[in-house]
Structure 1
Amino acid sequence: MTERKFSSLSATEKIARAALGAVAMALLAGCSFIPAYERPAAPVPEHFDGVAEAAASPLSSWRVYFTDPSLHVLIEAALNHNRDLKIALARVEEARALAGIARAERFPTLDAQGSANRSRTPADLTGTGQPLVASRYDAGLGVTAFELDFWGRVAALSESARAQYLATDEAAKSFRIGLISDVANTWLLLTELAEREHLAAETLNTREESLTIIRKRQEAGLATDLDVLAAEGLAESLRAEWADLKRQRVQTENALRLLTGMAVTLPAPTNLANQPSMTELAPGLPSDVLLRRPDVRAAEQRLVAANANVGAARAAFFPRIALTTGMGTASQELSGLFDAGSKAWLFNPVLKLPLFDAGRTRANVDMAEARKVQAVADYERTIQQAFREVADALAAGSTFSEQVVALEANLRAQQARFERVKARQQAGIANYLEVLDANRDTFISGQVLVSSRRQLLSAHVTLYKTLGGGEE
């Protein structure tokens, strides 16, 4: 009986039943075209040069790593008031909202609906010779154009939006670590410039006093015009350098105020030699280091999003079924809207099957796959860049330590030379040009030493940043 009944169906009805059967099987099977995600291998060496195999030391909070109380005040102000950080955090909230919107597309939207409609048809159109006034009132609940996600297209778009949100969140964390590093480095630069400016001012006073002495000696016939001109040239060149250092210091103060949101009064810089030391860090193996960096994690989430977009593009080859349905009451009179017998319902599934689109769907798949290739390359490049930054920071820390020791010894030698030449000049054995030359070399050595001390401390700041910061 069943077979005869089925055979009597029209061809259209058979196709419709077959299509519904296929849709039901797909629904039960939970089809998805999202490719299985596999994290690409890190294209970097297994070890950092000069670093033995060892577990990485735990990264402490910046409050523990940076021990300078003045720097604590500045970093706190930056984290609370920096406008760029506020923008980054707002973008995270925007991405979170977009992910929520994409996730909501996987569920039907239920709306309460109410409508009233009155219309008048002219007499010559009614067929009865009398005008017709009609009224209709409706109230009910309904679902509009909900896509039945048999092929995982909507799920893939939701997964992509979620990964984009996570990537944005990691990017904000990376920006936050960068902001802490920028504040610390700018503070160290300000300290360096203040110290160098103070050193230049002291040396300028010494040279002006020497110039006064040489002019008196010239008047007494004990010094030549060449001695006076040499002393004047050294004094004025140092005056110009002093002015340059003052300008750099003020500009650095302005940069630090901008980083901190102009929320605090800048503390007075201290001597770099008296700066509190920072916590020593052992980087460990590259795999331990690089995968905890927020920028690497952000690049991986962008890759996850690109992978999901490939699945969504592939699913576009298959039919989409959108369902519109509603249930409620309807009546010609508002007072009879909820009377017995006023029940009304609507069931309207729509099947959309792509037949010809001039290659648009295929091109979308090609574009999604190309973007995935780009995301893989971006992830690998980010890891390589991270490896280089850590290696550079390690090299800078070790070499600047050696450089500072050598420059301290050089400064002691230049100071001893200056004192001896000055004594020889006072004894009439050496001329004053030798004194000025020794004084200039001592000043330059002091300036270079201060700069190298700042670079050594900045290398520790950079290492903290390149290792991905610490937990708060």
Structure 2
Amino acid sequence: MSAYKRFAKLEYIFVAGLSLASLAGCTPGPAYVRPSVDVPTRYKEAGHAQQPATAKPPQGWLQAQPSDVDHGEWWGVFNDPILDGLEAKVTVGNQTIKKSLADLQQAKAMVGVARSSYMPFVTAGASANIDHTSKDVIGRSLAGRTVQDYSMGVTASWEPDLFDRIGHEVDAAKAREQASEADLASVSLSMHAELALDYVDLRQLDVEAALLSQLVDAYTQAKALVQTQFDGGIASESELEQAETQLEVAKAQLIDLGEARALREHAIAVLIGIPPASFSVSPVDQPLPLPAIPPGLPSTLLERRPDIAAAERRVAAANADVGEATSAFFPDLVLSASGGFESSKFAQWATLPSRFWAIGPALVGTLFDGGQRREELSVAKARQDAAAADYRQTVLSAFQEVEDNLASLHVLADESIAQQRAVDASSKAAQLAMTRYQDGATDYLEVVSTQSVNLAQTRAEIELSRRRFAADIQLIKALGGTWAAR
């Protein structure tokens, strides 16, 4: 065959291959539609919350808008420099966040792996073989001979994405990358919220410790008073023992707070990524201001919550997997070419007569596979249904968390008012009992009884304050943190 005819044939082969590649406009598989979910127009408990949804947010807090949004440093609403510093350390030192960041990097790399299928695959190699064929083999021209074979060549192949199989694979990888990015945001939100909860507990323990320290001083003075009256024959030994018991119980309660405080310090140290032995927080007995958090509208929750975004992206990835499984029913076009040098003599290896080459397209399709592709498509569709159910459940759970914490806040706010009245009343009763005792109108048992009630009510008020802070932080977490327009 003449050189002209060979090149004409090659041209025909390439034209035919490119014509088949033009069929790539055909994209089998379902178009993605985000799963529908019922979104209420308002939160049920928002009307009872500390602050209505339409109220102006506190400083440092921005409500989500239907636009591009970014996380904010939501812990700034507490206006506590120590908390701000600890939260900054969580961002850079928390190992759980670092693991999630590594997962995101892995997902990004998988997108590159999927995209690489768009490119040609080129390999090169060289070999030197010496083969000796048995003499006793009938029908071989090289029987009993030793043959040397030296070869060197390049092979290239390319598979045009006719039916968007690679496109679906890339779409799935990109959706999973976006889901991993949302997972990172969700983990970060959880770690920051966990540290805020531990820090609030620590501060409330300091407030309680300051209260008990004041009571120990007061009970010490009261015991000295009873001792004086006992020495003067006015008070009984029983009253002196009551004063002693009251003082020692208060001391024991103060000492007991040390364990809870140490555990909170250790938890904070681990969250910021350092050994507990290297970390401590100085006691601060001033209570934190309780911020008011506007819940916004339920529809914005779908934008704020990173776990909802992650679940939705996994539905998109599963939808792309269905498209990839659908593409398997269509044939694949492979364009390949190879060339190089081959010779039985090393000296002639790289000479022009030793060259070889081959080129041509191949259209390959599966005619029978025992139903494997059909079942794989069924598997992909079932996984998509499962991902859609996970998405809807994540949305429902998000609404529940917001409603739960809104309910907690308004109930605890009402309870706090009643508890404050109880503290005031018990405090007044304890003062009156001490006055009556000093005037000789009653025994010390009434003083101990009223002071014990006052202590219990005051500690209950501190615990109630802790629960309100916890509900506030949990509400911020349930809302997805603060969000600011970029």
Flag whether TM exceeds 0.5 (same fold): yes
Q: 1:207-262, CA deviations, whole angstroms, 9 ceiling, x for partnerless residues?
A: 45545654665576544565456545544544443343221111111111111112
Partner of 2:155: 142
Tell me the SS of whatever aligns to 2:39: coil
When residues 333 and 53 of structure 1 are mapped into structure 2, their CA distance, relative to the original with a 3 A threshold, is farther
Looking at structure 2, the residues matched to 351 and 26 of structure 1 have their Cα atoms a distance apart, in angstroms, of: 11
**Contact 1:47–1:53 (Cα < 8 Å) also in 2:** no
Contact 2:133 2:142 in 1 (8 A): no
Are 2:89 and 1:77 equivalent residues in the alignment?
yes
Distance 1:297 1:348, change over 3 A: same
Q: 1:439 aligns with which of 414, 439, 451?
A: 451
Q: What is the match of residue 129 of structure 2? A: 117
Would the alpha carbon gap of residues 121 and 256 (structure 1) be closer, same or farther in structure 2, given more than 3 Å must change? same
Matched residue SS, 2:340: strand
For the Cα contact (< 8 Å) 1:163–1:305, is it kept in 2?
A: yes
> 1:380-438: per-residue Cα shift (whole Å, max 9, x none)?
11111112222233333444444444433432332222111100111111221111111
Which of 326, 337, 351 is residue 314 of structure 1 equivalent to? 326
Match in the other structure for 2:59: none
Residue 407 in structure 1 maps to residue 413 in structure 2: no
- Report the Cα distance in structure 1 between the residues aligned to 2:196 and 2:159, rounded to whole angstroms: 52
Structure 1 stretch displaced more, 147-156 or 290-299: 147-156
Q: Kindly indicate whether the alpha-carbon contact (under 8 Å) linking 1:142 and 1:326 is maintained by their aligned counterparts in 2.
A: yes
Question: Residues 46-195 of structure 1: matches in 2 within 5 Å?
Answer: 46-49=41-44, 50=47, 51=52, 57-58=63-64, 60-62=72-74, 64-122=76-134, 127=141, 131-139=145-153, 141-143=154-156, 146-195=158-207
- TM score, norm. by length of structure 2: 0.81
The range that moved more, 343-352 or 196-205, is 343-352
1: CA distance, partners of 2:169 / 2:297: 36
Q: 1:64 to 1:54 in 2, by over 3 A?
A: closer
1:203 paired residue among 215, 219, 223:
215
Q: Which of these residues, 353, 356, 365, is aligned with residue 377 of structure 2?
A: 365
In 2, are the aligned partners of 1:54 and 1:285 still within 8 Å (CA)? no
Whole-Å separation in 1 of the counterparts to 2:393 and 2:356: 61
Quick check: 1:115–1:137 contact (8 Å CA) kept in 2? yes
Q: 1:344 to 1:211 in 2, by over 3 A?
A: same
**Distance change in 2, residues 1:161/1:128 (3 Å):** closer
**Alignment partner for residue 23 of structure 2, among 28, 50, 53?**
28
Q: Deviations over 1:439-467 (max 9, x none)?
A: 11221122122222233333332232222
The residue that corresponds to 1:428 in the other structure is 440
* Paired positions, count: 449
Counterpart secondary structure, 1:469: coil
Per-residue CA deviation, residues 49-78 of structure 1 (Å, 9 max, x unaligned), is 325569972574337434211111111111
Contact 1:272 1:453 in 2 (8 A): no
Greater Cα offset, 110-119 or 226-235 = 226-235
CA contact (8 A) 1:320 1:352 kept: yes
- Verify the 8 A CA contact 2:202 2:261 in the aligned structure 1: yes
Residue type at the aligned position of 1:195: V
SS at match of 2:147: strand
Question: Aligned partners of 1:142, 1:292: CA distance in 2, in Å?
Answer: 51
For 1:332 and 1:113, how far apart are their aligned partners in 2?
17
Counterpart of 1:138 in structure 2: which amino acid?
M
Are 1:303 and 1:376, in contact at CA under 8 Å, matched by a contact in 2?
A: yes
Q: What letter matches 2:28 in structure 1?
A: F
Structure-1 separation of matches of 2:471 and 2:213: 28
Q: Take 2:348 and 2:419, find their aligned partners in 1: how far apart are those partners?
A: 98
Helix, strand or coil: the match of 2:118?
A: coil
- Secondary structure, counterpart of 1:345 in structure 2: strand
Which SS does the other structure have where 2:468 is aligned? helix
Q: Which residue does the alignment assign to 1:286?
A: 298
1:316-368 deviation per Cα after TM superposition (whole angstroms, max 9, x unaligned):
23334455432333334444444334432234756554344443322222221
Pair 1:379–1:405, CA change in 2 (3 A): same
Give the structure 2 partner of residue 467 of structure 1.
479
| Unmatched 5+ stretches in structure 2 | 1-14, 57-61, 65-70
Secondary structure of 1:424's counterpart equals helix
Give the distance between the partners of 1:164 and 1:221, measured in 2 at CA. Answer: 83
Residue of structure 1 in register with 2:3 after alignment: none
Root mean square deviation, CA, Å? 3.2
Q: 1:216 to 1:202 in 2, by over 3 A?
A: same
2:391 to 359, 375, 379: 379
Unaligned runs of 5+ in 1: 1-19
- Letter matched to residue 48 of structure 1: Y
The 8 Å contact of residues 137 and 333 in structure 1, kept in 2 or not, is answered as: no
1:39 to 30, 34, 41: 34
Query: Residue in 2 aligned with 1:271?
Result: 285
Q: Is the 8 A contact 1:44 1:384 kept in 2?
A: no
1:142 aligned partner, one-letter code: T
Check if 1:450 corresponds to 2:459. no
8 Å contact 2:149–2:342 — kept in the other structure? no
- Does the CA-based 8 Å contact 1:92-1:165 persist in structure 2? yes
Matched to 2:43, the amino acid is F
Greater CA drift, 295-304 or 123-132: 123-132
Task: Flag the 1:26–1:110 CA change in 2: closer, same or farther, 3 A.
Answer: closer
Offset of 1:373 from its aligned partner?
1.1
Task: Give aligned-pair identity as a percent.
Answer: 29
